[in-house]
Amino acid sequence: MTDPAIGFDPVAGINPSVKRALNDMLGGGAASILTVTFGLSYSLLIFAGPLSPYLSYGIAATFISSAVLAAVIGLGSSLPFTIAAPDSSTAAVTGILAASLVEHIETANLSAPLLSPVLITLGLSTVLTGVVLCGLGLTRLGRAIRYVPYPVVGGFLGATGLLIALGAVRVITNYPVQLSTLPRFANGTTLLELGAACAMALVLYLTWHRSRNPFGLPIILVGGVVTAHLAFWISGVSLDGARSMGWTFQPPPQAAFMLPWHTGELAQYPWFAVPDLLGNLVAVIFVTASSTLFNTTGIEVAVHREANLERELNVTGAANILSGVLGGYTGCSSISRSILNFSSGGRGRLSGLTASVLSLLMLAIAPELLGFIPKFVLGGLLLYLGADQLHKWIIESRKRLSKLEYLSLVAIIVIIVAWGFVPGILIGVIIGCATFAFSAARVESIKYSFDGSEYRSSLDRSRDDQEVLLAHGGKIQGLNLQSYLFFGSANRLYQHVKQLLHERPECRYLLFDFKLVTGVDSSAAYSFAQIKRSAADLGVELILVHLSVAAEKVLRSSDFVGGSVTIIPELDRALEWCENELISQHQGLAQEEASLRDWFTGILDSEDDADELIRRCQRIEVEAGEVIVQAGDPADSMHFILDGRVGIMVPAEDDRTTRVRSLGRYTTIGEMGLVSQTPRSATIQAEVDSVLYVLNTHQFDAIREEDPALSHKLLTYFVSVMAERLTFANRTIAVLRR
């Protein structure tokens, strides 16, 4: 049977069980080529500088880690073909942890031993990482890392790429990249070594980066080694001479396996340095956890298989605990090696066991192999790995991220390189949250808006009611809200409502549909309280629809709900309620207008004149006790009292007022002042809630100019009213004289 992922079957005609086993061994062997190659470079990355004399122990730790991780994860993973080993990101932060420890030890005592404290630190950090991974898997909290903002993760991994590249320079030159060491890089031999490493990295990019052939990487590295030794031979430089000049590695002793858990070594451990190492320890845990999750997801996408994330965390945690106990360091599943195994036909757990066995075999031959490899070959590989990581997160991510997210990613890389991983994580999360808040605030919180003339309830109404809604539906305004409402988006909503109420002054009912709102925070409740105040000032009633229990609780906490705010479960019922209120009010106004027309028709003997006068008047409503006009004010209007009662008040002793007359419905007040233009002689105050129609001097003058007949009728009416009041006054005086 031919595997479509391979394209041909290298073991056709063999028993299916044996064939599967051979395919697994073939795939595991192919993946082991990458494990061996990368493992040597990781050893050099971690055991560099002052730790370079102990490189044989680093090689042993690397391949023990590779063997343990490949075996345990291969046997327990939910993706049985997974190949695990130390990863470039985990090796980078492990190297930083080791370098930080060495720096603290040498600062305290230059003659203090380095090997045991470093091996203890690597082992303890790996065990602790494994415990945390198991905790994340057992509590199902591992998925929480996927909520870390993408620019933070990208900045973190981009920083590891830069640190790998800087570590490569140290492997090649034996000098860290610092301001104090820059003069040493002016040496001609050093520049040639760096140039050769850059050329090696370029060759890897132009060839293996594009093909990803499993045998391409070792062939390129072997070609680099052969080319270097051929150049030495042509230039007359012996192998010993090349080593003395720094072109090749000094052959380390046989890989030494040493368990670091000895009482004496633990007693001499520099525990004073632990507080300063906590930040780098957190970085090791974070990188291993994130690499486990992201690599697993990457394998899922590549092979179209679904993994159990909790199981992957538990298995990876157990593998790291065992690796730490045996003196190894952290690692996780590898995308490149797992996909290589899958493409080579590996489907079972024997692939991981094969990779584990080959890693153990490398303990015997790796040191001798390393003695013949020029530094620029493995250094170039590290440069390529670091540059590839940087290219992925600094160049390629620019296409996927907004400008603000990209700038935050670059800032996080700079912060991590300058100040360390913990400040980078903390500041990165803060930047990520701020970026999210800014981006979310730009998301429009209003999906669409409508008014009552274009969007109505499902209730069938009479033609008269439909005409009312068509003419006055603008008094109902609706906003369909969406997304999560917090301080940014809610403030934009408040500004929109203010503009809406300014542009639609006729609005009397404002509906908010919360059906698509995912949540409301307390700062948004403050913005809604501002909306309520603005609406109340304009006499607008607010109606909330589809308000969830959680959102209602938040809004009630700010005293938003209540008063002029009504909650109705469904939009259709809310629209029906507003329409009923609008129709009821219109019917009342229609009756009122009919009553006013009858009154004015009786005064003017003409319905047309009555309609014209109504058009010229302004309707007002006054509450009981409200002053309509004040004594001494200019007499610039008169009032037709359609409903209610007003009193004419004059000053009395002790700053009191006395009512001298009271006027009820279908009476007028102020007509004498309108004609004579003299100041008000008394205060007019509503005694009960009243409805009045006001005719001001501007409209009265317009009537005299445009409609002299109507003006004449009004003046005649004014004279008759004054005559009646004069007759009443004379009768009152006559009674008082008796």
Instruction: Look at residue 78 in the predicted model and tell me its pLDDT.
Output: 92
Q: Which CATH number fits domain 446-586: 3.30.750.24, 3.60.15.10, 3.20.20.70, 3.80.10.10?
A: 3.30.750.24
Q: Give domain limits for the chain.
A: 16-436, 446-586, 596-737
Predicted TM-score (pTM) above 0.75: no
Tokens 């009662």, residue?
A: 645
Check if the beta carbon of residue 31 is closer than 8 Å to that of residue 37: no
Q: Give the other-Cβ count within 10 Å of 599's Cβ.
A: 17
Which amino acid, residue 449?
A: S
Residue 512, helix vs strand vs coil: strand
Overall CATH class of domain 596-737: mainly beta
List all residues 6 or more positions away from 353 whose beta carbon is below 8 Å from its beta carbon.
Answer: 28, 70, 71, 74, 75
Report the C-alpha gap between 640 and 78 in whole angstroms. Answer: 88
Check if the beta carbon of residue 517 is closer than 8 Å to that of residue 551: yes
The DSSP bridge pattern shows strands 627-629 and 657-663 to be unpaired
Check if the beta carbon of residue 408 is closer than 8 Å to that of residue 148: no
Check if the beta carbon of residue 340 is closer than 8 Å to that of residue 215: no
Instruction: Look at residue 1 in the predicted model and tell me its pLDDT.
Output: 37
DSSP symbol at 442: T
Instruction: Look at residue 504 in the predicted model and tell me its pLDDT.
Output: 87
562-616 pLDDT, tens digit each: 767 889 989 888 998 998 888 877 766 667 777 888 888 888 888 888 888 888 8
Check if the beta carbon of residue 211 is closer than 8 Å to that of residue 388: no
Check if the beta carbon of residue 435 is closer than 8 Å to that of residue 151: yes
Report the C-alpha gap between 81 and 24 in whole angstroms. Answer: 8
Q: Which two tokens stand for residue 312?
A: 């992957």
Check if the beta carbon of residue 236 is closer than 8 Å to that of residue 243: no
Q: Which two tokens stand for residue 711?
A: 């003006």
Reported for 177-181, long-range contacts at CB under 8 A and 24+ positions apart, including other chains, are none
The closest of 307, 302, 384, 358 to 335, measured between CA atoms, is 302
Q: Give the other-Cβ count within 10 Å of 83's Cβ.
A: 34
Q: Which two tokens stand for residue 387?
A: 């540059």
List all residues 6 or more positions away from 156 whose beta carbon is below 8 Å from its beta carbon.
Answer: 286, 287, 290, 412, 416, 421, 424, 425, 428
Tokens 């064939």, residue?
A: 19
**In the chain, which residues have pLDDT < 70?**
1-14, 142-149, 210-215, 217, 251-256, 298, 301-302, 366-367, 370, 420-422, 425, 436-443, 563, 587-590, 654, 732, 735-738
